[in-house]
Each structure stands twice: as C-alpha cells, then as structure tokens.
Structure 1
C-alpha cells in the first residue's frame, strides 16, 4: 500500500505531499495520523528548518475529510464521532498552527473543508491560479470541524467568513488572497518553486528566532493586546539567552552574513 503522505527532504526543507489523488487527497484517519507522525519526525530533525505541504496530482490539495469514513463514525454515535473525527482533525490543524518551524501550504487545486482548514492553520500559503477553495460542510449538515469556524473569521473577518461558512460557495485564489488566506498566487507550474523560494527566504535567518515569532503570534492572537505583549516579552527573553542573538548582532556589526546552528 502506498503511503498516504509522502516525505522528501531537500536541503533544509521538508516536502510533505498528501498522497491520495484518486480520492482528491481526502483526509482519512490514517492520513491524518501519518501527517502528525511526520511532523513529529521533522520537529526532531535539527537539519530541517521549514516545511512545505502540498497535494499529489493536478486536481486537489485536499478535498477535506473522508466523508465515507467519518459517516461511519457519526453512525456509531456522537461520542465516537467527536473523538475519531473532530478531535483528531483539530489536533492536526493545531499542530500545524503551533509548529515551531515555518509551514507553507502550496495549494495546487481543490482545497475544500479540511483542506481549506489546513491552509488556514499553515503559517504561510501560496496558491496556484487553478486553486479552488470552499467551506462546504453546511452542504452535509455540519459545521467545519478542524477549526474553520475559528481561524477563518480571524483571517478574513466575521462577515467574509460567515458568508463562506453559511453558503458553502466556492471561491478562487484571488479572493483567498484578498481575505488573507494565502500570501501569493502563482501559475500552477511555478507553485512548488515559489514555495521553496519562500522557504529559502526564511531560512536565511535564525531558526530559533523564527520559532519564537511563530509562538508569539500563535499564542498572542487568542489573547488581549496586553497579554500578547507579555508573550512577546517572554519570547524575546528566551532569545536573549541564545547563541543566535549574539551571532546575529555580531554579524550585523561586522557587516557579514550570520552563521546559525543548523544552517
């Protein structure tokens, strides 16, 4: 049986590919669990500084949760459906959102439901001109379950988000860009190249500083500004005790390129 998530390491960048193209890369439980396991492996690998997540084939990034599979969970009862489907998906998107290394979603086609929610959770996202997004859960009588009712309003604003959540309508990469769901829209044949280029721009800098920035932003978004500023100070204090901050300052003063551990 082929792996439902492919892993490839190029230099300091890990490429993860959702690999169920015949199912439009739908997120069944096994795929979800394998993705989590690979993220654990990547976090422990000091030689990796950034992650790109995309979909196999030319049709889909991910069409969302595997409807046939979670239908069976729902039929077995509410408690099982919440545990097997909802909590599993929420853990996965929360893991992506709080991952200490930058995660870039390279959206190469359909990004519906859980596929859109992965895009929302990723730190950065680039969309192909062929990408199509939707929040279609309402069409089957459920709300989004992988964090879509919470992250999309924070990205796009309440009214934009509610329009998409309540209608289930599709929307293109242009609107996704305007709402802040993606950072860039590129031709399909340049998508992975553009994602790698973005990762390389990040990898010029201290990996510890990147992790501290991600932590401050992720935690701070869900607090008041005063609490967020406290989080920011905490992350700054953690950097002050690191070798990276001294290397960065010394390099700046000496007008040379800094050399950080792991680079």
Structure 2
C-alpha cells in the first residue's frame, strides 16, 4: 500500500469511528483510486432500512460510471457492526399486510441490492468490522471479496423470526461454505466467529480491527495494478459462470476473453511479456 493510501486509511478509520448519524445513510470517502462506502446507522447497528438500501444503490450507480474509482470498500460505521441485517421494525408492516406485499417490498428490494453488489463491474471488498447478521451477512456474501476484523461474527438469525433468509442467503451461503455448513447456520440461527468464517471460506482474511481498512486497501491496490478491463471481464466471467453447467460457463469465459482481447491493455500485456518489460496498462 502506498504511503498516501496508508494515510488515507488512518484518516478513514478515524472518520468511521466519528460517524454518529448525519443525513447520509451511506457515507462515501475517496481513498486514492478507491472508494469507501460506510453504512451509517450506528444507533441501529447499521440495519438495512428501505432508505439505506436506496442510498447504497444510488452510491453504487455513481461509482460505477466514475473511471477514477477502481475498487469499492464497503463497511459499517463504528466498530460494533458491519450490519445487523434487515430493519425488521421497518419491514414488519409489509410482512403483516400480506405475503405478496412482503415479497414485493421486502424480499425483492433486498435481493435487488445484493444482486447489484454481486454483479458490480468493479471489485467490492467487504470490510467486516463487527457483526454481520441476516441481511448484513447476505450483503457481505454478495461482495467480490471480504476481510473481517478478529471480533467480527456472522449469523443467519431469520429462522428465529419465522422465515428463511430473504436477501439471497439460502443461495449464496451454500456456494461459499457448502450445503451442510450452510444448513447448520440457517437452521440454528447460531453465530460463527471470524476464525470459523475464514476456515469455511466465507471471508478471505482475518486481521486486527486496527488493520482492517489498511488490509482492504492493500488488497484493492494489488487488484488495481492490473487492467481495469481485465478485472471487469474476470469478475463477470466468475459471477455469470458459477451457476452454469461447465460448457455454458466456458462460453461465458470465452465471451469475456473476447471483450478483453479487443482492448489496448491485452495487446500491451502480451507485448510486455514477450519483450520482458513491465506492462503499462491504459486503464490501470
């Protein structure tokens, strides 16, 4: 990580610790070539209300079209929670009204958010700075990569409310940790710690709380040294192909290769390899 990014990370840690409300439900900070998004409802453990979901979607829309942003880091304000999950008090009237209204308002909005994160054309790195429960865990699962603080915990407590996970957790969690481990988390509602999440493949790395954002920035910098076109093509190939039969997945891979192969960066990368020199990517 560059010295400037190290300074930015320290400043960001201080900023997140200081956030205690304000008008922005999702704060946005620029950290060099990367953007930091902070879920900002610390009094509610950053629970996902309708308004917060809308704010996060708007932030992602803006960052997608900003060519200066290479990676997005997503975290929660404070040190207690990444997100406690869906704001059940806010969603309860829809659940009480009818299954159809609950589906339309509650489930579909949450699934649209996690799918937006999952298919975002730039890497989204979850910085799990505390508990990630319910919809918060599902949000983390949808991210491209995840780094957790040592004190982070993960749970699927929806079973205790009388329904299954609703923001994609029944589908993504088994793909991360396997069917039996996913069933245990979903059917018991019991939390797991960060070490278990790492062992199960739910997160990429566990670090100290103080090193969480610097570790995310180091990972983002390792990605950003490569061609932006190649990064996006790789993300799309993995995301679109993972649920397909192998032959269809290989077709997706071929299509994304063709997109990248038509770029300056592919020609530069292969030429640099043959000429035994560092590549200078136009989009890096």
TM-score grouping bracket, smaller chain normalisation: over 0.9
Distance 1:191 1:114 in 2: 21
Matching residue of 1:85: 106
Matching residue of 2:249: 228
Matched, 1:260 2:281: yes
Matched, 1:150 2:171: yes
Matching residue of 1:9: 30
Q: Answer whether contact 2:83 2:135 (CA < 8 A) is retained.
A: yes
Give the aligned length: 263
Distance 2:34 2:279 in 1: 19
Matching residue of 2:267: 246
Matched, 1:124 2:145: yes
Deviation at 1:248, TM superposition (A): 1.2
Distance 2:97 2:65 in 1: 37
Distance 2:94 2:56 in 1: 20
Distance 1:25 1:255 in 2: 49
Matching residue of 1:38: 59
Matching residue of 1:171: 192
Structure 1's consecutive aligned runs of 4 or more residues displaced over 4 angstroms after TM superposition are none
Q: Answer whether contact 2:26 2:39 (CA < 8 A) is retained.
A: yes
Matching residue of 2:225: 204
Q: Answer whether contact 1:98 1:218 (CA < 8 A) is retained.
A: yes
Contiguous gaps of at least 5 residues in structure 2: 1-21
Q: Answer whether contact 2:265 2:283 (CA < 8 A) is retained.
A: no
2:121 to 81, 93, 100: 100
TM-score by length of 2: 0.91
Report the RMSD for the aligned CA atoms in angstroms: 1.0
Q: Answer whether contact 2:229 2:283 (CA < 8 A) is retained.
A: no
Distance 2:170 2:261 in 1: 37
SS of the residue corresponding to residue 120 of structure 1 reads helix
Matched, 1:73 2:94: yes
CA offset digits 1:166-208 (Å, max 9, x no partner): 0000100111111111000000110000000000000010111
